[in-house]
A and B are shown apart, each in its own frame.
Chain A
Amino acid sequence: MGIAEKTVRVQVLGRSGKEFIKGGVEISQDGTVADLKKAIQRQNAKYYPERQRLTLPLEPGQKRPTVLEGGKKLKDYFSNQNPQVVFKDLGPQVAYKTLFFFEYLGPLIIYPIFYFYPQIYSFFGLPTRQVTHPVQTYALYAWCFHYAKREFETFFIHRFSHATSPLANVYRNCAYYWVFGALIAYFVNHPLYTPVSKEQMYIGFAIAAVSQISNFYCHIILKNLRSPDGKGGYQIPSGFLFNYVTCANYMTEIWQWIGFNIATQTLAGYLFLGAAGYIMSVWALQKHKRLRQTFDGKEGRAKYPRRWVIMPPLL
């Protein structure tokens, strides 16, 4: 440092109110929250920035504290010379790409095992497969294409707003995808599987195919809303189905599973559809609410147009 930089000493407290880092940390007055996190990491190498959640101390009457955003400057949050932040350890973090890679890998590997190794069923005392129905083969293709597409999107399409996710989510998410994947694979490739009519199968797979392509296009649109480092400001999605449905990406995903289930007709598949649909609806409602609150039409901001949330005409 050539010219003497004005610095400020930030007090870092734990959530109990006690000082978390003795003496606080010193950073440039012009610094950002990201700089502050790096400074904290210098005091304790265990706490890499993705693991830190910094908030302003809770105001009286406030239920949830204000979270400090990485890109913003300290000056945006603190006017005085004695800034205090509250530190929370989010626990070990895992990159989202890593999380997605593993949770989608399970279905990609487990499903074909039931198709190509029907000997598994003899382990449960079941007869060997006499005939493989066409729908079982097409289902294999549809399923594997779906999860291969997801892997591709994870590494080449999606732009994540948060770089990481807590480690615990790896176990939870993998359990969800892998267990459902195994269940559906077990029943569709079962030696006593009963196929539906040819017409129903074609209709189902047609719906699934159209939905998959639409879903991919939705992901491209979402990708273009964000800049490459994920920093872009919040924007109103538009174009294609987004003009009518806030979470058109979730909608097309749900329709893809509806199509798959119409073609394969298993209770397990419908249960998965129910669970996935429920989870996505919860997310969609949150996103829709956030968009409406951000784009309220006041102070020169755009007003969020009237749109379905996730599934016209239901929601």
Chain B
Amino acid sequence: MGVVKVYLCVYNWLLFAGWLQILVSAVKALQQSGPSGVYAAVEKPLQIWQTAALLEVFFPLVFSFLWFLVLRRIVYGIVRSPVMATLPQIGSRIYLTWGILFSFPQVQEHWLVTSLVLSWSITEVIRYSFFALKETFGYTPRFLLWLRYTTFFVMYPTGICSEAGLVFVTLPFMQLSDLYCLRMPNKLNFGFDYYYMSIVALLAYIPGSPGMYTHMIRQRKKALGSKPKAS
């Protein structure tokens, strides 16, 4: 399907450019004003390009729900990685971008934001350029493939620690605020406390992180093969 290929091309190049912008802005801000200035420099592009990634997950989900039989075949090809592996990752990204950083300005100048933005942007620049080249030219240089499946060894731990760390330092502010909370009594006999939900989310990182890490190791074996690369 020609339309799908063009869409994927444009999408991946666009996201690559967006994340490159984030990475460059972050490094410049780091040099000029230090870690506390990173968030202010990347806020708008981060919100745009991180939220745009929802298209990777919800586009196929929404469409395959609506046109179950017809489009499902085509749509599965749109997202390379199976939904179940990317859903928790996109979930945590959106949670951090909107639920933590946007909602609690008190933590925007924390140094963990720097490690977070750097981990995310380096990973995404590599990932999107990889897909963009693949869609445009049908081919990716071996070096990029290696980068994609090797940088995670460092980026995943730094990214995960930054995410969990930022949630943790935001907890006291959540406790003081009523943001995103639903209080009882009400007719549905339902309550929601953002503070306790975030603690549950933090606990989810404990089993979740090794799972995602080993998933990447398995993907690496499949992509690079278990034999050492012939030079």
Contact = CB atoms under 8 A, between A and B. Distances in A.
A and B assemble together = yes
Interface of A: 124, 187-188, 190, 192-194, 264-268
B187 A265 contact: yes
Given A190-B184, A192-B184, A193-B184, A266 B196 contact: no
Contacts of B193: 124
9 contacts: A124-B196, A187-B189, A187-B190, A188-B189, A192-B184, A193-B185, A194-B184, A266-B189, A268-B189
Interface size class on chain B is 10 to 19
A266 B190 contact: yes
Nearest to B187: A194
A207 B184 CA distance: 27
Contacts of A187: 189-191
Interface string B167-194: 0000000000000000011111111010
A265 B185 CA distance: 12
Interface of B: 184-191, 193, 196
B184 A268 contact: no
A265 B191 contact: no
Nearest to B182: A267
Contacts of B191: 187, 190, 192
Contact of A268 (B185, B187, B190, B196): B190
Given A192-B184, A192-B185, A193-B189, 13 more contacts: A124-B196, A187-B189, A187-B190, A188-B189, A193-B184, A194-B189, A264-B189, A265-B187, A265-B188, A265-B189, A266-B188, A267-B190, A268-B190
B83 to A, nearest CB: 18
A194 B186 contact: yes
A188 B190 CA distance: 9
Nearest to B183: A192
3 smallest CB-CB distances across A and B, nearest first, come from A267-B190, A192-B184, A266-B189
A127 to B, nearest CB: 11
Contacts of B196: 124
A203 B186 CA distance: 21
Contacts of A124: 193, 196
A187 B193 CA distance: 13
A257 B145 CA distance: 52
Contacts of B186: 194
A268 B186 CA distance: 13
A307 B188 CA distance: 35
Contacts of A267: 188-190
A271 to B, nearest CB: 9
Contacts of A264: 189
A192 B191 CA distance: 10
B14 to A, nearest CB: 37
